[in-house]
Amino acid sequence: MPPPNLRVLMLSKALVAGIYQRKLECIAAHGIDLLALTPDSWRDERGVQPLERVYTRGYDLQTVPIRFNGNFHLHHYPTLRRWVRDFRPDIVHIDEEAYNAATWHALFEARRMGAKTVFFTWQNILRAYPPPFRWGESWVLRHADAALAGTDSAAEVLRAKGYTGDLAVIAQFGFDPDLFTPARRRPDRPFTIGCVARLVPEKGIDILLRAAAALADGSPDGDWRLRIVGGGPERAALQALADQLGIAARVTFAEQVPSTAMPDQYRLFDVLAVPSRTTPTWKEQFGPRASVEAMASGVPVIGSDSGAISGVIGAAGVIVPEGDIVALTAALTRVRDDSAWAAGLAQRGRARAIGHYTHEQIAAATVAVYGRLVDPR
């Protein structure tokens, strides 16, 4: 365990999502003097995500200016030096990939002050980046004191790139089991398929639309609905596909909702579909977070075998070959028609989520890394 009052500065754009802040309360509960820095918003394909201040007990959450907001590789925080100088952390936790400018900048400032450093990675494909990203990544891998990898495959990529330092496999964030809970009773509604994802090609929403259209042996009278939550550049194309397939009246495209409203979304679903497809530069890195949140909410999960999905879901869900519309349709049909089987999936999913992915568990594992940094014994 780390010494009492260990000072940790965490830099993370992901903390704009309020439900992620619960992990920091859990870290602080271990006696960590924690300062968290995040921008007041983050932009991506879905639009602008403003900061949600939700879980802020026991630590200090501050907003800082950001340059190149929305640019994953180039964004950084110009006032970081002042925060590091004034707080004088023992550890700087950089919640970013090694090939990002924010990581290079934070590592440089931490080393100037003699602080230990830890960074995070989801990268699960062995890729060589062009300069200057390759140079910056190499520098981080040589000089960071510890790394957190979200999955085993991400850890393997780090080692293959030559990283030899302290390495722990820990998910970036977990869930609150008191917030994500099963519905007390199922309301009277059609069988509802849920999908929570960015609307981009690699998420495979077009595959899901085609699989849903084939439910009930292709009969247009099959009693089902599909609810897709999230934004992104493929929305118009996906809406057009739903119309082309003759299922537009059954499909709802809901905008991205605040993170704290997600528990109510899962209670609208009878199954969550995660139909991701692998591309030459991307494969699913965790599942996404919706997989764990749905399992915690007692919603059966059907995922493709892209990337880390099968490792996250395990035997608590159903895995189908990515891009296999027939297999996805069959899995959806069985969840709809076999209530006992679906109930078993729901129970195993809740148990798996609680057993592996709570904020408390992830915080404790992270604090253990902090302890090794300040006392290798």
Going by CATH, does the domain composed of 7-174+358-374 fall within 2.40.37.10?
no
Q: What are phi and psi of 41, to 5 degrees?
A: -170, 165
Q: Give the separation between CA 166 and CA 181, rounded to whole angstroms.
A: 35
Residue spans in the chain of domains classed CATH 3.40.50.2000: 7-174+358-374, 191-356
Residue in 195, 253, 192 with CA at minimum distance from that of residue 222:
192
pLDDT at 253 (0 to 100)? 97
Q: Are strands 301-304 and 271-274 parallel, antiparallel or unpaired?
A: parallel
* Cβ neighbours around 243 below 10 Å, total: 12
Mark the ranges of the chain whose per-residue pLDDT is less than 70.
1, 217-222, 286-288, 376-377
What is the C-alpha separation between 287 and 305, in angstroms, rounded?
10
Residues in the chain: 377
Q: What is the pLDDT of residue 375?
A: 84
Token pair, residue 134, equals 């390759």
pLDDT at 23: 96
pLDDT in tens, 301-360: 999 999 889 989 988 999 999 999 999 999 999 999 999 999 999 999 999 999 999 999
CB-CB contact of 310 with 303 (8 Å): yes
d(CA 150, CA 155): 8
Instruction: Give the integer Cα–Cα distance in Å for 283 and 309.
Output: 10
Q: With contact defined as beta carbons under 8 Å apart, do 290 and 173 qualify?
A: no
CA dist., res. 207 & res. 326, Å (int): 10
Q: What is the β-pairing status of strands 47-50 and 41-44? A: antiparallel
CA distance 354 to 30: 20
pLDDT at 377: 67
191-356: which CATH topology?
Rossmann fold (3.40.50)
For residue 91 the two structure tokens come to 């550890």
Q: What is the pTM of this model?
A: 0.90
Backbone phi, then psi, for 269, in 5-degree steps?
Answer: -105, 150
> How confident is the model at residue 217, as a pLDDT?
57
pLDDT the model gives residue 8: 98
